[in-house]
Structure 1
Amino acid sequence: MPNLPKPTAVIVGVGAERGLGAALCRRFAAEGCRVLVAGRTAAKIEAVAAAIAAAGGSAEPVVTDATCEADVVRLFDLAMAPGDGFAPAEAVVFNAGNNRRIDFRQVEASVFEELWRVGCFAGFLVGREAARRLVPLGRGTVLFTGASASLRGKPGYAQFAAAKAGLRMVAQSMARELGPLGIHVAHVVIDGGIDGDRLRAARPEAAERGEDGLLDIDAIAQTYWQIHRQPRSTWAHEVDLRPFKEPF
């Protein structure tokens, strides 16, 4: 029996090796996918891709500013191009986003716009390009990383909540329009702190929450994979994830 081509997964918003984007890359690679590791910092995505290759997986770093339309189009040109043993993309994950607490009276217009461009506008660009490429094929999964702020605004986070709530509406609109065309669109609400380099560097006290007080990045990645593999008769659109110690 001839070897079947490897499916391609596109992960947008990859940073540190101990981060959700990198964990998603590793998870999809472990299932035999060729993974396009897309992020803004070459050194970080190259390290993630090299670690996957060292473990026997297939990964290619692609420097991508997801707020730049030309970069996103170029990424999907690469994802859909026929390759030696590679099939066009069938899974796309948008995981980009920035967050920091700012008193509402101190939020500068440029900061508000920057967080919206990364957290919402970039998601639109990735989602639109994914739809343009996947709809003609009649299959594929597009997953968006959400947050507690997708559902509610908290003091000091108006700029973040605006971006995440907007991204959630993009995902809902896509799901309703594209689901009947064979494209599974889902939004994952990360309702709690992620146990990764970003949180531990910004808030070292987070480690004091103890075992299961933070979301494990590999466990989150496992849920994304499960959503991607859901049968068409039971597609989920929104899943929220939180540690059992996290109130809601």
Structure 2
Amino acid sequence: MSSSVSIDLPWYAKLVFKAGRPVVLVAALLMSIPGEIHLAIVAGWTPGVARLMPVCVSVYAACSAVIADIAKRRSLPSRRSALVGAVAALALALCAQDISHLISQNYMHSSTVLVALVSAVPPMVVAHMLHMAAAPAETASVVEVQEVSDEAAEGLEGDYMHDDMPGNKNGQQTRRGGRKGLSEEEVEAAIARLRVAGEKVNPENLGAVLNRSTRTARRYLTNMKRAEVAKAADKDTADGMLPMPAM
């Protein structure tokens, strides 16, 4: 069972939390627009078409950052691509601003290389966004539930007695030979020992520490990951439930 934590913040802190971040984001995007349009014009686009360059640079950087954050929180299969895209988009936005202002202040001039690089921005953005759209949409919880089901079909559940079966005590799963399943605290302690020893936390190593089979250790890791995903989802929900200040 999950619970929400109420944070007692003063009204001005709540106002900054709710309204400050979008205001800063919009202000930063607006300040980035002139430089990116100017750089597009320098590269050879007409003024009308050049107005779309901020969408390919600053807005793309913002979208990539959000996608990367969500992919990391939910352990999506596309999280590495999203992270690389976010870093590349941020570097692109920074370079666009710097180069545009250097040109406008006559510290540097346009060149063949600069025109070629700026002209390549829209195709690269399109390619990465299409790659992200084609990535699997399942979250980690969905993928892991399917993995558990597949393993159950292979006989994973056969080693354990369910909670409602006779012979189970204190809500713990028990092996058919009477061997009790491990608690969450015992599994976490074993994982902590592996990390302290510098060993990889994988089913093989965890099984050796717990004196369990690799198949059983894999199940423990799957359950732990599902719990982490659920806690992260509950935290996101709680963070978004801060009340607006009373006027």
* TM-score (structure 1 length as normaliser): 0.25
* TM-score (structure 2 length as normaliser): 0.25
Q: Which has the higher helix share?
A: 2
Q: Which has the higher strand share?
A: 1
Larger Rg: 2
